[in-house]
Structure 1
Amino acid sequence: MMSLMEILLLIVKIAQFVVIVHVVMSWLINFQVLNLRQPLVYQIWTGLERLLGPVYNRIRSFLPNLGGIDLAPLIVLLGIEALRIVIINNLGYF
């Protein structure tokens, strides 16, 4: 059962990494460090958008409009961290 928990923690780490990569990549695209006309950058960006778009849209539906500030990735990262804490704190029950 312990290996199942380690697998769950690995999945949580990967989810955290994907969200952080998406945030950093969005900054680099907005500051024109990365160009979406490059095929590899475009493929990675559209893949991340398709993966995280539905999650962000659900969170954005109940967040207030703050102009140009998007807090959806922050909420997702907080949720992922809360899930990690719950998994670690419940390791003793398995």
Structure 2
Amino acid sequence: MLTAVFDILELLLNILWWIILIQVVLSWLFAFNVLNTGSDGLRRFVQALDRITAPLYRPIRRVLPDFGGIDFSPVVLLILLAIAQMLLDGTERSLVTGGA
């Protein structure tokens, strides 16, 4: 039972990691006019990803200094997610195996 909870949390972290990665790549493709910004479906998809990630980026953007138009908040968030994954794995290992 406990392993299933940790597996679900790990799955959610992985999904969030992919959402951030897809959002970053799509924002670059829009910025460099590789994708058609007139496509309504694609624009709605990007807006949905922005709505998911904006609340996560906001506190990081408040702390980070201005880098002249380069947004490092997705990188910081991915690092934080990796740290959370490591902590989750360590906690799971210590609880499931009894600390051995």
TM over 0.5: yes
Q: Which position in structure 2 is the counterpart of 1:87?
A: 88
Whole-Å separation in 2 of the counterparts to 1:23 and 1:54: 15
Q: TM-score, normalised by structure 2?
A: 0.89
Equivalence for 1:29: 30
Write the distance in 2 (CA, Å) between the matches of 1:91 and 1:56.
Answer: 27
Quote the residue 1:64 is aligned against. Answer: 65
TM-score for the superposition, normalised by structure 1: 0.94
| AA matched with 2:30 | I
Give 5+ residue unaligned stretches, structure 2: none
Alignment partners' CA distance in 2, 1:25 and 1:90: 34
| Matches of 1:79 and 1:32, distance apart in 2 | 30
Read off the aligned partner of 1:2 and give its amino acid letter.
T
- The alignment of Structure 1 onto Structure 2 pairs a total of residues equal to 94
CA distance in 2, matches of 1:41, 1:69: 23
1:36: how far off? 2.2
Q: Please, which runs of 5 or more residues in structure 1 have no aligned partner?
A: none
Q: Which residue does the alignment assign to 1:2?
A: 3
Instruction: Please report the RMSD computed on the Cα atoms of aligned residues, expressed in angstroms.
Output: 0.9
> 1:56 aligns to what SS in structure 2?
helix
Q: How much does 1:86 deviate?
A: 0.5
